[in-house]
Amino acid sequence: MRYSFFNLLKQSFNGHKSWEPAWKEAKLKPHYDVIIIGGGGHGLATAYYLAKELKIRNVAVLEKGYIGGGNTGRNTTIIRSNYLRDESAKLYNHAVDLWQDLTRELNFNVMYSSRGVYNLGHSLQDMRNIERRVGANILNGIDSEVVLPDELKRRIPIMNTSSKTRYPILGASYQKKGGVARHDAVAWGFARAASKLGVDIVQNCEVTGMQVQQGQIKGLQTSKGEVQADKVGIVVAGHSSVLAAMAGIRLPVISRPLQAFVSEPLKPILNTVVMSSQVHGYISQSNKGDLVIGGGVDGYTGYSQRGSPHTLEHTVQAMIELFPFISRVRMNRQWAGIVDILPDACPIVGKTPVKNLYINCGWGTGGFKATPGAGHVFAHTIANDEPHKLNSALTLDRFISGALVDEQGASGVAQH
């Protein structure tokens, strides 16, 4: 059922009793053309674009828990594309382009709000890097500009732009098209749109093994039985190494806990996104009014969704440095998700040594922003058995050839 004013009116006469579920609860069939492992934003987007653009409709998305229940449903929802390297910036910008019209495309309000993103600089070297990155962005057609402290003070009055602080703000890069979106709505929107096109979304279905014969993927063992597949895509973020190991592949990925927290709801006070990689923190205010705050990854690898309090403390220090008023704000909840980090802070979207097995991983701390773009190019990669031109450099092979795409500088706050 299409979501429209007309349908809303029609349902209201009926007391809103005949809305259909947003997506069908599917039973696992014995065979699929393509199986996507992982029902997060990227996985659901991949399934959607496979069905929509590449007309491959016999697709299943297998999710261990419930869809959007992992990092997709628990992240700081920042969207931007002001990355340094051509190879990655163009992919992130492809995503930003898709975000613009995603609500209409999915017929589901993903609440994309282009409220702008500021990346602060606190030292001369920071400012040199910012100017270089902004220059590179402009050459790649990405909206990006340098903002100086006087202007910053005018735009974000609540921020401490005094020159007397420990790390005074010397300027920032600004991307106007950057912003936030409603993370749950992104998962639900893609799920609903994919399900409508015939994609099976199977929840509570954990993949426990892979059948690989003569270097080719044949099928999967799952907690709901065996299933055959012509092609399989792994889109599982933090657990990428675990899944890849089932097919005998060793990845250059390490998994780390990344923490974030939200405050009690406040009146509107911050109408943009502020990030600082120098003092290590980022902040925005959600539509509900809570401040959404994140920081760096924890110091060790692991899969426990916990994280250590001293990492949290460090983030809070950074935030109080930038926004002194939050020292009196109570924090509502804190959590940690497992992020998959690659040595060059750039993802892998492409083929694996096993034929017909594809992987999308290594987005580290910033995969949410790329959701539609990554899904789009990954769907093309799976359907055509070769990368889309936007992800052709983001191969697994680059860790053999040495052609790394070094995004350590622009990947933001967390990924150090």
Partner 1 sequence: MLLIHCPYCGEKREEEEFTYDNEAGIVRPTDPEDLTDEEWGDYVFGRQNLCGPIYESWVHTAGCRKFLIVKRDNSNNKIDKTMTVQEASADKNYQEFNSTANSNIKKTNK
CA distances from 167 to 89, 122, 164, 415 (A): 28, 6, 8, 20
Distance between CA atoms of residues 285 and 288, nearest Å: 8
Nearer to partner 1 by Cβ, of 113 and 415: the residue is 415
| Cα–Cα dist 215/229, whole Å | 14
Task: Provide, rounded to whole angstroms, the least separation between the CB of residue 310 and partner 1.
Answer: 5
Q: What one-character-per-residue DSSP string does 149-215 give?
A: HHHHHHH-TTS---TTSSS---EEEEETT-EE--HHHHHHHHHHHHHHTT-EEE-S--EEEEEEETT
Residue 46 CB, nearest approach to partner 1 (Å): 23
Least distance to partner 1 from the beta carbon of 301, Å? 6
Question: Which amino acid is located at 71 in the chain?
Answer: N
Of the two residues 124 and 400, which places its CB atom closer to partner 1 in the complex?
400
37 DSSP assignment: E
Closest to partner 1 by CB, 254 or 329: 254
Q: How far is the CB of 24 from partner 1 (least distance, A)?
A: 31
Shortest Å, Cβ 255 to partner 1: 6
DSSP 388: -
Shortest distance (Å) from residue 210 CB to partner 1: 16
Give the nearer residue to partner 1 in terms of CB position, either 79 or 354.
354
Neighbours of 53 (CB within 10 A): 12
Least distance from partner 1 to the Cβ atom of residue 357, Å:
17
Q: Which is nearer to partner 1, 51 or 338 (CB)?
A: 338
DSSP letter assigned to residue 389: G
The least CB distance from residue 399 to partner 1, in Å, is 4
| Beta strands at 78-79 and 207-213: parallel, antiparallel or unpaired | unpaired
Nearest alpha-carbon partner for 377 in 387, 369, 368, 385? 387
Q: Exposed, middle or buried by CB within 10 Å (0-12, 13-18, 19+), for 380?
A: buried
Closest CA to 278 of 122, 62, 140: 122
CB atoms within 10 A of CB 109: 14
CB of 282 to partner 1, least distance (A): 23
Cβ proximity to partner 1: between 202 and 312 the closer is 312
**For partner 1, which is the closer residue by CB, 77 or 311?**
311
Q: In this structure, how many other beta carbons lie within 10 angstroms of the beta carbon of residue 393?
A: 20
Q: Quick check: 316 and 292 in contact, CB under 8 A?
A: no
Binding residues vs partner 1 (CB under 8 A): 239, 241-242, 245, 250-255, 299-304, 306, 308-310, 343, 399-402
Evaluate whether 334 touches 312 at the Cβ level (below 8 Å): yes
Nearer to partner 1, 239 or 376 (CB): 239
Nearer to partner 1, 200 or 298 (CB): 298
